[in-house]
Amino acid sequence: MKLSGESLMGKQGYGIDPERLNDYAEQVCELAAEGTQVGIVIGGGNIFRGLSGAQKGFDRVKGDQMGMLATVINSLALQSALQAKGQKVRVLTSVRMEPVGEFFSKDKALRLLNKGNVVIMAGGTGNPYFTTDTASALRAIEIEADIMFKGTRVDGIYTADPEKDKTATKFETITYDEILSRGLKIMDLTAITMCKENKMPIYVFNMDEKGNLARVIRGEKIGTLVEP
């Protein structure tokens, strides 16, 4: 599951909104309690975004590294919220930073998932020039997930940005190729291409509405399914 760092801001406009964090933790715990194995990648846009930093004069590589660290901060916050609710959870990082988190490996992630842990995979891919969208696609493929959920503040994929274009219409299903041909910005091109090549379905939905994650698992069509 890819969670938006920007959504963690809630009503604050910056940083981590405790209420939104708690909502996310409750929804993840509900999912895990039903026996679903959950791996999570969370963005860092509520703290720092490397590309926007580069536009303001930061070196792009340093900016992306700062963004990676922002994802670690968010991951630790979510880990703490989950632990407070009694959920077993571990943070794995793409770069070594013990004891903040353990170094990511596929085998370790699968062992933890099989033991009932929620696994939060922090630090992006560990490389500059790659977004957390790409990191979530990569991790979903690595841990052999059945599907990748993208929790956003919009309830699916539209013909245009619904926050800017009131005539935009929503897709119930869409193919990878149609996303690419229409130039839709739901995820970056690298992430979409990776999912297409590895036949990883994506479900895009509004995670900010409490209870939506459980609705998705129950099969309610509240978002958009991306498939071949």
Secondary-structure percent of the chain, ordered helix, strand, coil, rounded to 5? 40, 15, 40
Residue 187: C-alpha distances to residues 56, 123, 157, 180 (Å) = 23, 18, 10, 10
* Residue environment code for 158-182, b if the CB has 16+ CB neighbours within 10 A, otherwise e: beeebeeeeeeeebeebebeebeee
Tokens of 56: 């303001």
Q: Is the pTM of this model over 0.75?
A: yes
SS3 assignment for 109-132:
HHHHHHCCCEEEEECCCCCCCCCH
Mean pLDDT (the chain) is: 93
Structural domains of the chain, with CATH: 2-227 (3.40.1160.10)
- In sequence order, which residues have a C-beta less than 8 Å from that of residue 2 and are 6 or more positions away? 40, 41, 42, 43, 132, 133, 136, 148, 149, 150, 151
What's at 94, amino acid-wise? S
- Give the pLDDT score at 162: 85
Largest CA distance in the chain: 50
Q: What is the pLDDT of residues 136-186, one digit of tens each?
A: 999 999 999 999 999 988 899 999 888 888 899 999 999 999 999 999 988
Average pLDDT rounded to a whole number, residues 67-88: 97
- Give the pLDDT score at 129: 93
Rounded to 5 degrees, φ, ψ at 99 are -95, 15
Q: What is the pLDDT of residues 111-129, one digit of tens each?
A: 999 999 999 999 999 999 9
Query: Does residue 51 surpass a pLDDT of 80?
Result: no
Query: Does residue 56 surpass a pLDDT of 80?
Result: no
- Give the pLDDT score at 54: 64
Rounded to 5 degrees, φ, ψ at 30 are -60, -40
Q: What is the pLDDT of residues 31-45, one digit of tens each?
A: 999 999 999 999 999
